Amino acid sequence: MEATPAPRSGPPASTRLDSYVDRYAARTAGMTASEIRALFAVASRPEVVSLAGGMPNISGLPLDVVGRAVAGVVADHGAEALQYGSGQGHPRLREQICEVMRLEGIDGHPDDVVVTVGSQQAVDLVTRVFCDPGDVVLCEAPSYVGALGVFKSFQCDVVHVEMDADGLVPAALRAAIASVRAAGRRIKFLYTIPNFHNPAGVTLSAARRAEVLEICRAEDVLVLEDNPYGLLGFDAEPMRALRADETEGVVYLGSFSKTFSPGMRVGWALAPHAVREKLVLAQESATLCAPSFSQFAVSAYLSEHDWQGQIKQMREMYRERRDAMIAALHDFLPPSCSWNVPHGGFFVWLTLPPGIDAKAMLPRAVTARVAYVPGTAFYADGFGSSCLRLSFCYPTPERIREGVRRLAGVLEAEMELRATFGATAPGVAAGPRSGYDGPSTDLS
Ligand code: PMP
């Protein structure tokens, strides 16, 4: 007897995905799935040490405290917290956000804060408000993959600006502004992550902060300062934000994702008054308002818990993981590799020996049960093939060490392959590659 075929799941056979292609808006051309996304499905298996994802490690959060705060929100503020709220955000939370920003020298007013769905949405709203197709956005080289995805989706042209161990290089910024303008192009803003950069791990030095602001003032370039990691420094007090020394020329973005919970999806923009008004209108058309419930929950957490003490604990936890990663890199990787030692945040940027292609090596790394994000994901122009991002935020120190040990084994095999077959070895790169790896939560 023939078996009855199992009922089909998914769309009917007549619904061909490519039948929609001609109907999509032109801007969706920039929304492409990452070639490495499939690999990350494998990388999330427990036997793989993932040094890829930038997920905050929330294992130390006091869930009892959070639970009580959330219960209190329902009991005491349910009628408001379960209702639509203001497009600009919950007023009490905006005051508390100003207290948080004060730690970085910012004297902001709650009226100039717009609460967003994570700082990711703030990047989207600012780009929506400022950018037409073809406008230029200046970004560090490399830059945050999620922001590159937003810029692409608004059909902006990203022009990368060099960084070194002290962050964005002022002379390179000057040169980039001059060459873009000489080509008759419009620069809409400089997108910068001054603290514990994602993915490069570097921090903009104090001297350079002044210089970058001076250049942007003189050249009339707006700065979009994205600062989700600023309070997660390991060694020193938080750096002074760019926005602390420039009120009109900077839109500052912050987030509770790394200092409390990414699941709350609460971030914010602090903007000059006129820009703030546009951002609120953009927010209303995008979501009506950021989720009221999350805003009340974050507000209750901040007022009922020693959140600064909690951040201190997080910093210790991340510092221990950073130390484990740096020690393992020293112990296992060949001297032809180089990397930076981050003083905060989640990421180490690793440069491979000449000719080794991080993207080509990734399938072999995943087979060896370790994952990372290839450098090309963080460039809009296909560069970065000899680099990769390692994140130390999530795995335990022991797992980090084991992951780096596995990576070293894969790299050694890759170098042998190259020594044997030269430039024709499978997976050996010849110059920059195209193929932008769009954002995904794996690539946060
Ligand atoms: N900016 C940077 C530099 C990030 O690394 C991230 C998340 N990894 C974000 C913005 C977005 O974070 P969220 O939306 O969770 O606030």
| Per-residue pLDDT at 1 | 42
Q: Mean pLDDT over all residues of the chain? A: 91
| Residue 101 near residue 119 (C-beta atoms within 8 A) | no
**Ligand 1 centroid, distance to 312 Cα (angstroms):** 20
For residue 122, the ligand 1 atom closest to its alpha carbon is 14
Residue 209 confidence (pLDDT) above 90: yes
**Ligand 1 centroid, distance to 89 Cα (angstroms):** 19
| Nearest alpha carbon, ligand 1 atom 8 | 444
Task: Return d(Cα 150, Cα 286) in angstroms, integer.
Answer: 14
For residue 266, the ligand 1 atom closest to its alpha carbon is 16
**Ligand 1 centroid, distance to 62 Cα (angstroms):** 22
C-alpha 127: how far from its chain's center? 16
| Residue 158 near residue 133 (C-beta atoms within 8 A) | no
For residue 257, the ligand 1 atom closest to its alpha carbon is 15
**Ligand 1 centroid, distance to 161 Cα (angstroms):** 20
**Ligand 1 centroid, distance to 8 Cα (angstroms):** 38
Phi, psi of 74 (to 5 degrees): -65, -45
| Per-residue pLDDT at 426 | 56
Instruction: Using alpha carbons, select from 209, 220, 222 the residue that is nearest to residue 104.
Output: 209
Residue 25 CB neighbour total at 10 angstroms: 9
Of 198, 203, 253, 373, which is best to mutate to test ligand 1, by the most ligand atoms within 8 angstroms of its C-beta?
198
Residue 5 confidence (pLDDT) above 70: no
Q: pLDDT tens digits, residue range 16-74?
A: 667 788 889 988 888 877 666 767 777 778 999 999 988 999 999 999 999 999 999 99
Q: pLDDT tens digits, residue range 157-192?
A: 999 999 999 999 999 999 999 999 999 999 999 999
For residue 120, the ligand 1 atom closest to its alpha carbon is 14
| Per-residue pLDDT at 374 | 95
Looking at residues 278-300, what average pLDDT do you find? 98
**Residue of 26 and 5 predicted with greater confidence:** 26
Residue 149 confidence (pLDDT) above 70: yes
| Nearest alpha carbon, ligand 1 atom 13 | 118
Residue 337 confidence (pLDDT) above 50: yes
Q: pLDDT tens digits, residue range 112-141?
A: 999 999 999 999 999 999 999 999 999 999
Report CA torsion sign: 436, 438, 442, 443: positive
What percentage of the chain carries pLDDT values higher than 70? 90
Give how far Cα 361 sits from Cα of 88, 155, 286, 352, Å.
46, 30, 40, 11
Task: Return d(Cα 215, Cα 173) in angstroms, integer.
Answer: 8
**Ligand 1 centroid, distance to 144 Cα (angstroms):** 8
Q: 234 Cβ partners below 8 Å, 6+ apart?
A: 315, 318, 319, 322, 343, 344
| Residue 361 near residue 414 (C-beta atoms within 8 A) | yes
SS (H, E, C) the chain: CCCCCCCCCCCCCCCCHHHHHHHCCHHHHHCCCCCCHHHHHHHCCCCCEECCCCCCCCCCCCHHHHHHHHHHHHHHHHHHHCCCCCCCCCHHHHHHHHHHHHCCCCCCCHHHEEEECHHHHHHHHHHHHHCCCCCEEEEEECCCHHHHHHHHHCCCEEEEEEEECCEECHHHHHHHHHHHHHCCCCEEEEEECCCCCCCCCCCCCHHHHHHHHHHHHHHCCCEEEECCCCCCECCCCCCCCHHHHCCCCEEEEEECCCCCCHHHCCEEEECCHHHHHHHHHHHHHHHCCCCHHHHHHHHHHHHHCCHHHHHHHHHHHHHHHHHHHHHHHHHHCCCCCEECCCCECCEEEEECCCCECHHHHHHHHHHCCEECEEHHHHCCCCCCCCEEEEECCCCCHHHHHHHHHHHHHHHHHHHHHHHHHHHHCCCECCCCCCCCCCCCHHHC
Joined tokens for residue 69: 């705060």
Give the pLDDT band of residue 417 (cuts 50, 70, 90).
confident
Strand partners, 337: none
Q: pLDDT tens digits, residue range 246-269?
A: 999 999 999 999 999 999 999 999
User: Looking up tokens 């290839």, which residue turns up?
Assistant: 374
Task: Return d(Cα 364, Cα 370) in angstroms, integer.
Answer: 9
Of 55, 119, 441, which is best to mutate to test ligand 1, by the most ligand atoms within 8 angstroms of its C-beta?
119
| Per-residue pLDDT at 382 | 87
What percentage of the chain carries pLDDT values higher than 90? 82
> Which residue type is seen at 66?
V
Of 120, 224, 298, which is best to mutate to test ligand 1, by the most ligand atoms within 8 angstroms of its C-beta?
120
Task: Return d(Cα 202, Cα 194) in angstroms, integer.
Answer: 8
Instruction: Using alpha carbons, select from 158, 156, 150, 189 the residue that is nearest to residue 271.
Output: 189
| Per-residue pLDDT at 430 | 37
Give the pLDDT band of residue 435 (cuts 50, 70, 90).
very low
Which residues, judged by CB distance below 6 Å to any ligand atom, belong to the binding site of ligand 1?
Answer: 54, 118-120, 144, 146, 193, 198, 226, 228, 255, 257, 262, 267, 444
| Residue 119 near residue 254 (C-beta atoms within 8 A) | yes
Give the pLDDT band of residue 233 (cuts 50, 70, 90).
very high
Instruction: Using alpha carbons, select from 233, 246, 253, 57 the residue that is nearest to residue 144.
Output: 253
| Per-residue pLDDT at 428 | 43
**Residue of 379 and 437 predicted with greater confidence:** 379
| Nearest alpha carbon, ligand 1 atom 5 | 198
